A and B are shown apart, each in its own frame.
Chain A
Amino acid sequence: MSEEKSDLIDVQINGEWHSFPKGTRMIEACRLAGFEVPHYCYHPKLTSPGNCRMCLVEMGMPPRPRPGEDPPEPDEDGHVPISWIPRPAIACANTIAPNMGIRTESEMTEECREGVMELLLANHPLDCPICDQAGECSLQEFSVEHGNGQSRFREQKVKKPKNVDIGPRIRLDDERCIMCSRCIRFMDEIADDPVLGFTDRGSHTTLTVHPGHELSNNYSLNTADICPVGALTSNDFRFQMRVWFMKETHTIDTNCATGCNVTVFSREDKIYRVIPRRNDDVNSDWMPDSHRLNIHWIDSEARLTDPLIRDEDGKNHRVANWAEALQRSAEALRDFDGGEIAVIASARMTNEELLITKRLVKQLNAGHVDVVPRVGEPDGYLISADRNPNTNGAKLVLGVEDPGASLDQIKDGIAQGRIKALICLQENLVDDAGFSAENLGKLDFLLTSYPLANPTAEAADIVLPGACWAEKSGTMINGTGRLQRLNKCIDGPGQTRESWEIVRDLIQALGGGNGIYSATELFAQLGDEVSEFEGITFGQIGDLGIPLIETDETIPLLEREAERKAQGLIVG
Chain B
Amino acid sequence: MSDLKYIAGKEPHPRERRMIFKNVDREGWDQSIDTYEKDGGYEMLKKALKMEPGDITSEVKAGGLRGRGGAGFPTGVKWGFLPPNNEKPVYLICNADESEPGTFKDRYIIHQDPHQLIEGMVISCFAVNAKLAYIYIREEFPEGAAILEKAIEEAHAKGYLGKDILGTGFDLEIYVHRGAGAYICGEETGLIESLEGKRPYPRIKPPYFPAAMGLYLCPTIVNNVETLCHVKHIIELGGEEWAKIGKPNNTGTRLLCVSGDVQKPGYYEVEVGSLTMGELINDVCGGLKEGRKLLAVIPGGSSAKVLRGDETYQVGDDELTIWDIPMDFDTLAACGSMAGSGGVIVIDDSRSISWVLNNINAFYAHESCGQCTPCREGSLWMKKITDRVVAGKASPQDIDTLYGVAKNIDGRTICAFGEACSWPTESFVEKFKDELVADTKPELSDDILNPESELAAAGLG
On whether the beta carbons of B373 and A205 are closer than 8 Å, the reply is no
Q: How far is the CB of B213 from chain A (nearest CB, A)?
A: 12
**A315: B residues at CB distance < 8 A:** none
With A203-B376, A203-B380 in contact, do A154 and B450 touch (Cβ < 8 Å)? yes
On whether the beta carbons of A156 and B377 are closer than 8 Å, the reply is no
With A50-B372, A115-B412, A201-B369 in contact, do A93 and B452 touch (Cβ < 8 Å)? no
With A116-B412, A178-B373 in contact, do A125 and B452 touch (Cβ < 8 Å)? yes
**A50: B residues at CB distance < 8 A:** 204, 372, 414
A74 to B381, CA, bound (A): 47
A38-70 CB contact bits vs B (8 Å, 1 = yes)? 000000000011111110100000000000000
A154 to B457, CA, bound (A): 9
Which of A86, A115, A154, A158 is close to B380, meaning CB atoms less than 8 Å apart?
A158
On whether the beta carbons of B204 and A49 are closer than 8 Å, the reply is yes
On whether the beta carbons of A116 and B370 are closer than 8 Å, the reply is no
On whether the beta carbons of B380 and A51 are closer than 8 Å, the reply is no
The verdict on B366 contacting chain A, using a C-beta distance below 8 Å, is: yes
B-contacting residues, A149-164, CB 8 Å: 150-158
B353-379 CB contact bits vs A (8 Å, 1 = yes)? 000000000000111111111101111
Please, how many residues of chain A have a CB less than 8 angstroms from a CB on the other chain? 44
Residue of A nearest to B388 (CB): A155
Residue of A nearest to B206 (CB): A94
On whether the beta carbons of B367 and A202 are closer than 8 Å, the reply is yes
The verdict on B437 contacting chain A, using a C-beta distance below 8 Å, is: no
Q: How far is the CB of B359 from chain A (nearest CB, A)?
A: 16
Residue of B nearest to A87 (CB): B411
On whether the beta carbons of B452 and A202 are closer than 8 Å, the reply is no
A205 to B447, CA, bound (A): 28
**A115: B residues at CB distance < 8 A:** 374, 407-408, 412
On whether the beta carbons of B373 and A120 are closer than 8 Å, the reply is yes
A-contacting residues, B207-259, CB 8 Å: 207
With A115-B374, A200-B370 in contact, do A153 and B453 touch (Cβ < 8 Å)? yes
B-contacting residues, A69-88, CB 8 Å: 86-88
Which of A51, A119, A156 is close to B414, meaning CB atoms less than 8 Å apart?
A51
A201 to B414, CA, bound (A): 15
Which of A48, A93, A155, A200 is close to B385, meaning CB atoms less than 8 Å apart?
A155
Please, how many residues of chain B have a CB less than 8 angstroms from a CB on the other chain? 46
On whether the beta carbons of B380 and A202 are closer than 8 Å, the reply is yes
On whether the beta carbons of B201 and A119 are closer than 8 Å, the reply is no
**B206: A residues at CB distance < 8 A:** 93-94
The verdict on B26 contacting chain A, using a C-beta distance below 8 Å, is: no
On whether the beta carbons of B411 and A154 are closer than 8 Å, the reply is no
On whether the beta carbons of B201 and A53 are closer than 8 Å, the reply is no
Which of A48, A53, A87, A205 is close to B374, meaning CB atoms less than 8 Å apart?
A53
A155 to B409, CA, bound (A): 18
With A152-B401, A198-B370 in contact, do A120 and B377 touch (Cβ < 8 Å)? yes
Which of B367, B369, B409, B412 is close to A56, meaning CB atoms less than 8 Å apart?
B412
The verdict on B455 contacting chain A, using a C-beta distance below 8 Å, is: yes
On whether the beta carbons of A157 and B408 are closer than 8 Å, the reply is no
**B201: A residues at CB distance < 8 A:** 49, 51
On whether the beta carbons of A51 and B453 are closer than 8 Å, the reply is no
**A197: B residues at CB distance < 8 A:** 199
A-contacting residues, B190-204, CB 8 Å: 199, 201, 204
A-contacting residues, B306-361, CB 8 Å: none
The verdict on B7 contacting chain A, using a C-beta distance below 8 Å, is: no
A56 to B455, CA, bound (A): 30
A111-149 CB contact bits vs B (8 Å, 1 = yes)? 010011011101101110000000000000000000000
On whether the beta carbons of B450 and A157 are closer than 8 Å, the reply is yes
A116 to B376, CA, bound (A): 11
Which of A52, A112, A151, A201 is close to B372, meaning CB atoms less than 8 Å apart?
A52
On whether the beta carbons of A53 and B204 are closer than 8 Å, the reply is no
With A52-B373, A198-B370 in contact, do A155 and B384 touch (Cβ < 8 Å)? yes
The verdict on B4 contacting chain A, using a C-beta distance below 8 Å, is: no
The verdict on A204 contacting chain B, using a C-beta distance below 8 Å, is: yes
The verdict on A179 contacting chain B, using a C-beta distance below 8 Å, is: yes
**A179: B residues at CB distance < 8 A:** 370-371, 373, 376
The verdict on A90 contacting chain B, using a C-beta distance below 8 Å, is: yes
A246 to B375, CA, bound (A): 38
Most buried by A among B199, B207, B409, B452: B452
**B369: A residues at CB distance < 8 A:** 201-202
On whether the beta carbons of B374 and A127 are closer than 8 Å, the reply is no
With A88-B411, A88-B412 in contact, do A156 and B450 touch (Cβ < 8 Å)? yes
Which of A157, A203, A205 is close to B365, meaning CB atoms less than 8 Å apart?
A203
**B368: A residues at CB distance < 8 A:** 201-203
Main secondary structure of the interface of A (DSSP, over half): loop
A48 to B365, CA, bound (A): 25
On whether the beta carbons of A203 and B450 are closer than 8 Å, the reply is no
Residue of A nearest to B207 (CB): A93
On whether the beta carbons of B373 and A202 are closer than 8 Å, the reply is no
**A87: B residues at CB distance < 8 A:** 411
On whether the beta carbons of B370 and A153 are closer than 8 Å, the reply is no
Residue of B nearest to A94 (CB): B206
On whether the beta carbons of B370 and A202 are closer than 8 Å, the reply is yes
Which of B204, B370, B455 is close to A93, meaning CB atoms less than 8 Å apart?
B204
On whether the beta carbons of A202 and B450 are closer than 8 Å, the reply is no
Q: How far is the CB of A26 from chain B (nearest CB, A)?
A: 12
A134 to B377, CA, bound (A): 22
On whether the beta carbons of A119 and B377 are closer than 8 Å, the reply is yes
On whether the beta carbons of A123 and B413 are closer than 8 Å, the reply is no
Most buried by B among A53, A118, A120, A154: A154
On whether the beta carbons of B385 and A119 are closer than 8 Å, the reply is no
Residue of A nearest to B378 (CB): A119
**A152: B residues at CB distance < 8 A:** 401, 404-405
**B373: A residues at CB distance < 8 A:** 51-54, 116, 119-120, 178-179
On whether the beta carbons of B385 and A203 are closer than 8 Å, the reply is no
**A48: B residues at CB distance < 8 A:** 204
**B398: A residues at CB distance < 8 A:** 154
Q: How far is the CB of A116 from chain B (nearest CB, A)?
A: 5
On whether the beta carbons of A126 and B456 are closer than 8 Å, the reply is yes
**B199: A residues at CB distance < 8 A:** 197-198
On whether the beta carbons of A123 and B377 are closer than 8 Å, the reply is yes
A203 to B408, CA, bound (A): 16
A169-211 CB contact bits vs B (8 Å, 1 = yes)? 0000000001100000000000000000110111111000000
On whether the beta carbons of B377 and A122 are closer than 8 Å, the reply is yes
**B404: A residues at CB distance < 8 A:** 152
On whether the beta carbons of B365 and A118 are closer than 8 Å, the reply is no
On whether the beta carbons of A126 and B408 are closer than 8 Å, the reply is no
Q: How far is the CB of B399 from chain A (nearest CB, A)?
A: 12
The verdict on B391 contacting chain A, using a C-beta distance below 8 Å, is: no
Which B residues contact A (CB, under 8 angstroms)? 182, 199, 201, 204, 206-207, 365-374, 376-381, 384-385, 388, 398, 401, 404-405, 407-409, 411-414, 447-450, 452-453, 455-457, 461
CB-defined A-B contacts under 8 Å, sample of 27: A48-B204, A49-B204, A49-B371, A52-B372, A53-B372, A53-B374, A53-B414, A88-B411, A90-B204, A115-B407, A116-B373, A116-B374, A119-B405, A151-B453, A151-B457, A152-B404, A154-B401, A155-B450, A156-B450, A157-B452, A158-B380, A178-B373, A179-B371, A200-B370, A202-B368, A203-B381, A205-B376
Q: Which 3 A-B pairs have the closest CB atoms?
A: A205-B370, A115-B408, A203-B380
- Contacts beyond the supplied A51-B371, A151-B457, A156-B384: 6 A-B pairs with Cβ under 8 Å: A125-B452, A152-B404, A153-B450, A202-B367, A202-B370, A203-B370
